[in-house]
Amino acid sequence: MKTVYLDHNATTPVREEVLEAMFAIYRGVTGNPSSIHAFGRAARKEVEAGRAKVAAAIGAKPEEIVFTGGGTEADNLAILGVAFANRKRGNHIITSAIEHHAVLHACRFLEKEGFSVTYLPVSGEGLVDPKELANEIRPETILITVMTANNEIGVIQPVEEIGEIAKARGVVFHTDAIQALGKIPFSVEKTEAGLAALSAHKVYGPKGVGALYVRRGVRLQPLTYGGHHERGKRPGTENVAGIVGFGRACELALAELTAEADRLRLLRDRLCSDISKKISHVKLNGAPGKRLPNTLNMSFEFVEGEGILLGLEMSGIAAASGSACTSGELTPSHVLSAMGVPAALAQGSIRFSLGRENTLEDILGTVEVLIPVVRRLRLMSPFYDGSQDGTGTGGDTR
């Protein structure tokens, strides 16, 4: 059975060019970049070439890139690093209610350490209000951290406005740009970001390597100790192959960005409109005009998400859900809850996140599979009795 992978926001397959670049390193550039002999120097050269490519993808200087073991670590380094470096100046942090757990859990830890955190609410469409953010800034505020694009609903925050406000008020601004990289243009100049977290495995690079952009002048305490690597911010022998792979992935993502964003937007919009036409009682989650081009989060009323995913999987289709059952938590998606989506609708939410390999055929096939899957689950549901559609057919037009 042909498989259709629609979960690119969770991770992406490593692309062929990246694999080639990485295998060349594993096979032929085996030294430690810190060694002074030829083996080391060859490895150092590759690391710095990779660094330059990652920097170019976000409009940064190479020396502003700190490589980490992934995006979560980059977020933690940014938040904990800035907090601890500045705790004599202040102890207040502003973030949003819909950040990734890498940001939220770091903030919660800081609260236990005596920091005060404001979690900004979002609108029903998932957007932070820059004016509300500005109102929360106090003399003790040392960090603002708001993600560029949300992983669950794809909504893009007004980070350029937020960056301007942060700069005007003299507060460091970190943005989790992990989902934005490779999907929409992202520039550290335009966003006035002091820090930005990035991850390789979201852009067809390998898992296990990420980066933190750190603007010159931003004070940052490292989280681990043991050497001078990465300008003292993240000691440890560099993941040479991973860094090279990350660099290659960024290079390709930058080159293909516009064309790919346009292509994915068309496919995503077609998926959305076909679902809306052919299945009743569906709701789009997230500001329609302000989303990543590849992301679609919809709620299917009267049914639960895992049930839909199991039905999709029977036909080889992989997607994700905001339901409690699929996350292993006891409550549904914190992102949808923050947007005011009622629990039952959050439980019935599905996220489709498209990528390079997806075609129109994949999209059309997915809709055809969804129709009977949703119908069958609705006919089993205590909340659906046919009167909602007048036909008792499970809510589709066939």
User: What does the binding site for another protein look like in residue numbers (CB under 8 A)?
Assistant: 1, 3, 302-307, 310, 313-314, 316, 318, 323-326, 328, 330-332, 342-344, 347, 379-383
Beta carbon nearer to another protein, 42 or 318: 318
Q: Are 350 and 298 in contact (CB under 8 A)?
A: yes
DSSP characters for 62-86? GGGEEEESSHHHHHHHHHHHHHHHT
Q: How far is the CB of 301 from another protein (least distance, A)?
A: 10
SS3 320: strand
Compare residues 158 and 394 and give the one whose CB is closer to another protein: 394
325 is catalytic: yes
Which CB, 294 or 323, lies closer to another protein? Answer: 323
Q: Sheet of 65-68: strands edge to edge?
A: 65-68, 210-214, 195-199, 172-176, 141-145, 92-96, 116-120
Q: Specify the residue, 110 or 303, whose C-beta has the smaller distance to another protein.
A: 303
Per annotation, catalytic residue among 107, 250, 272, 325 = 325
Could you tell me the smallest distance in angstroms from the CB atom of residue 349 to another protein?
Answer: 11
Q: Do residues 216 and 233 lie in contact, with contact meaning Cβ atoms separated by under 8 Å?
A: no
Instruction: Report the nearest approach of another protein to the CB of residue 368 (Å).
Output: 18
Using the CB atoms, write b or e for 374-396: b if 16+ within 10 Å: bbebbbebeebeeeebeeeebbb
Between CA 28 and CA 244 the distance in angstroms is 13
The tokens for 106 are 């770091």
Smallest distance, another protein to C-beta of residue 381, A: 5
249 contacts 177 by C-beta, under 8 angstroms: no
Nearer Cβ to another protein, position 38 or 330? 330
- Residues identified as active-site: 325
